[in-house]
Chains A and B, each alone.
Chain A
Amino acid sequence: MKMCLVVDDSRVVRKVARRILETLDFETAEAADGLEALAFCRAAMPEAVLLDWSMPVMDGLEFLRRLRKEPGGEGPVVVFCTSENDPIRIAEALEHGADEYIMKPFDGDIIEAKFAQAGLI
């Protein structure tokens, strides 16, 4: 079973995302900010990360930059999932190594389609 780390500062969003991912046969774990997520990845690299952008302590983009420099940090497929929908910011996320990008609000169909595009399903 593939592991997807859900990184979002909203407990509700994490819960909704986990429920969707579990129906897609992912094992899931949660982190509330980029720093927590980075600590998780250092202990065990997940196959996928569903990543919010704006979070306290460390935001999604900073997490992504640091993740890609970690040993094995090129591995995880990173899918942003954020209310940020400015094309310039989206391009910035892709330049820093994001694989796909979901604009909130999202639903199960969008997550499934985007994960399929990113080769996770």
Chain B
Amino acid sequence: MKPEDLEFVAALARNRTGMVLRGDKAFFIENRLGSLARREGLPSVPALIQRLKSEPDEALARGVAEALTIGETAFFRDRTTFERLAEDILPDLAAARGDKGLRIWCAGCSTGQEVYSLLMLIEENQARLGGVKAEILATDLSERALEKAQSGVYTQFEVQRGLPIRLLIRYFDKIDDTWRASAGLRQLPRWAPLNLTDDLRALRGFDVILCRNVLSHFDITVRSRVMEQMAMALAPDGCLVLGADEAASFPDAFEPARGGAGLYSRNPAFARAAA
């Protein structure tokens, strides 16, 4: 792949999603765009890039941006984070909210493993959570990822990444060679496409925001802006959950909470300034 092609794709990703491509760009781009090129009937990834350069094609450009951002994911990724949620964060917030119930936002939910993990976790811990109702918003930039998330259909390989066997047979149905999350789980969240770099002012009052392994792909300016918007969207006593090893540089809007592992609370000073 030519250096100018790499730069072209990197600029497209950056402009549309705020994502910064790092590491071996050629390998990453080839890996992510290969199947998109095949779907478009093009012989190779460079041919796909050539097509984009030669004629403006909004749908194709969006497809490329989406293919670059679909992340690797697993059920119950970062076990400690989910343990903290089950034993500590959710029970405290459930008790504080009572009949009002919990509002949770999975920001950048990719193909849905995190959302289903959370739904199963809430279901399995109903006693500890006092039967609390939870309203869940699941968003992702990629409509393809979101479509898969909403379908709840996973390959045998995918359901063996992080999902305990007892939860698999309790919450999933086997359909031919795939496994599908039960309708009861699939219909719980509100699924919606959303670009985190857009205006997020409509989103307010969340008790927990999960945004894991998303922000570290943004450059520092975009990251700060998104984090500040998230601080506004989070209830003052709410909890932001980042990837376990995303302790990168964060703006003053958040401070580490409850023993770390990617958990943050809204900074009281920021809450006052924003009020």
Contact = CB atoms under 8 A, between A and B. Distances in A.
Contacts of B161: 109-110, 113
B174 A86 contact: yes
Contact of A103 (B160, B162, B173): B160
A117 interface: yes
Interface in A39-93: 85-87, 90-91
A115 interface: no
A101 interface: yes
Given A86-B174, A87-B174, A94 B165 contact: yes
21 contacts: A85-B174, A86-B174, A87-B169, A87-B174, A90-B165, A90-B168, A90-B169, A94-B169, A100-B164, A100-B165, A101-B165, A102-B160, A103-B156, A103-B160, A110-B157, A110-B161, A113-B161, A113-B162, A114-B160, A114-B165, A116-B79
Given A90-B168, A100-B165, A110-B157, 10 more contacts: A86-B174, A101-B165, A102-B160, A103-B160, A106-B160, A113-B74, A113-B161, A114-B160, A114-B165, A116-B79
B160 A117 contact: no
Interface size on A, as a range, is 10 to 19
Interface of B: 74, 79, 156-157, 160-162, 164-166, 168-169, 173-174
A94 B161 CA distance: 19
Nearest to B166: A94
A14 B161 CA distance: 22
Contacts of A90: 165, 168-169
Tell which of B74, B173, B174 has the most Cβ of chain A within 10 Å: B174
A30 to B, nearest CB: 23
Contacts of B79: 116
A103 B160 CA distance: 8
B160 A110 contact: yes
